[in-house]
Amino acid sequence: MADVMGGVMRVGFVGLGNIGKPMALRLAATEGLALQVYDVAPDPVAELVAAGATAAASVAAMDADVVCVMVRDDDQVRAVAAEVPHGTVLVVHSTVAPATPAELVAAGHRVLDAPVSGGPMGAAEGSLAIMVGGEADAFDAARPALEAMGTKVVHAGPIGAGTRMKLARNLIHFVAFTAVTEAQRLAEAGGLDLVALGEVVRHTDAITGGPGAIMYRGTTAPIAEGDFWHGVFSHVAALGEKDLGFAIALADELGVDVPLAREALPRLGKGLGL
């Protein structure tokens, strides 16, 4: 909630690391927000002060409506939370264990779990995706700060929903990274330029949306044959099974281990709901 006298929302930010610092810089540059920052490292604090923020002597010394936290792990989040007054909205941007947000609520804190996606570049541009779990009134109170840092702010549901959405999103991210390493080994064995392959992947994913291109249904249930998506995904499955089959055959020929491709081949159609 904004300061009634000055019409200014008071925001605290704790944790000025690779992503936290550019997030805080976006807040410092936003009209209508008065930013206080805290970090154990003096240099990023000095940079934020130069950008217009105020340095807090400690977390407990912050006088804020909303305190955003971007620290290393669950234990650091708990340590910060212990110094935040219970009436203040505590916005946890760190990716924590699924049970941690509810534990903080049970301890009496007013919490939003709000992990982010988009990395340091998205943080610097203010274009992060921010996935938020928590009560609607707390979300509304923190929204001006969230929208200063992200262009896709999603209220995913009750407490813990933001963390669950982030973990589902990052499952895609890191399984895909593992698949990329498999594809690189196959490409290398086939005498290809791996950098050129990477350029092709980034180019085509920017056009198609990458793995997100199939994420338009509101359920993972089987698709009825008359459903529009049955035709679309039948086409996707046919192409995918053909190309996976060819890739596995090439891997066998070149002596390359491709366990993810072998797992994907029988699972693709079923996973699509066919």
- 4 located within any domain: no
Where do we find the tokens 């105020």?
54
The C-alpha atoms of residue 101 and residue 156 are separated, in whole angstroms, by 14
Question: Is the same domain home to 42 and 96?
Answer: yes
- 179 located within any domain: no
Residue 1 pLDDT: 38
Residue 6 pLDDT: 55
Angle at which helices 194-208 and 161-189 pack, to 10 degrees?
A: 140
User: Which residues are catalytic, by number?
Assistant: 166
The C-alpha atoms of residue 74 and residue 235 are separated, in whole angstroms, by 44
Question: Is the same domain home to 155 and 199?
Answer: no
- What values do phi and psi take at 81, rounded to 5? -55, -35
- Listed in sequence order, the residues at least 6 apart from 102 whose beta carbon sits closer than 8 Å to its beta carbon are 159, 160
Digitized pLDDT (tens) for each residue of the chain, 274 residues in all:
344 335 799 999 999 999 999 999 999 999 999 999 999 999 999 999 999 999 999 999 999 999 999 999 999 999 999 999 999 999 999 999 999 999 999 999 999 999 999 999 999 999 999 999 999 999 999 999 999 999 999 999 999 999 999 999 999 999 999 999 999 999 999 999 999 999 999 999 999 999 999 999 999 999 999 999 999 999 999 999 999 999 999 999 999 999 999 999 999 999 999 9
265-269 own/partner pairs: CB under 8 Å, 24+ apart = 265/241, 268/237, 268/240, 268/241, 268/244, 269/237, 269/241
- 51 located within any domain: yes
Question: Is the same domain home to 209 and 85?
Answer: no
Extract the tokens encoding 7: 């019409």
Residue 127 pLDDT: 98
- 184 located within any domain: no
Number of C-beta neighbours around residue 4 at 10 A: 7
- 164 located within any domain: no
**pTM as predicted:** 0.92
Residue 106 sits in a domain whose CATH number is 3.40.50.720
Count how many domains the chain has: 2
Using an 8 Å Cβ cutoff, are 96 and 104 in contact? no
- What values do phi and psi take at 71, rounded to 5? -115, -175
Question: Is the same domain home to 29 and 116?
Answer: yes
Question: Is the same domain home to 38 and 95?
Answer: yes
Question: Is the same domain home to 155 and 258?
Answer: no
Residue 5 pLDDT: 39
Extract the tokens encoding 245: 């089959």
Question: Is the same domain home to 78 and 154?
Answer: yes
The C-alpha atoms of residue 132 and residue 14 are separated, in whole angstroms, by 18
Question: Is the same domain home to 17 and 109?
Answer: yes
Which one-letter amino acid corresponds to residue 140? D
Question: Is the same domain home to 48 and 146?
Answer: yes
Range of the domain at 255: 194-272
Question: Is the same domain home to 65 and 141?
Answer: yes
- 267 located within any domain: yes
Question: Is the same domain home to 109 and 238?
Answer: no
In 123-212, which ranges are E strands?
128-133, 150-157
- 232 located within any domain: yes
Question: Is the same domain home to 242 and 155?
Answer: no
Angle at which helices 20-28 and 136-149 pack, to 10 degrees?
A: 90
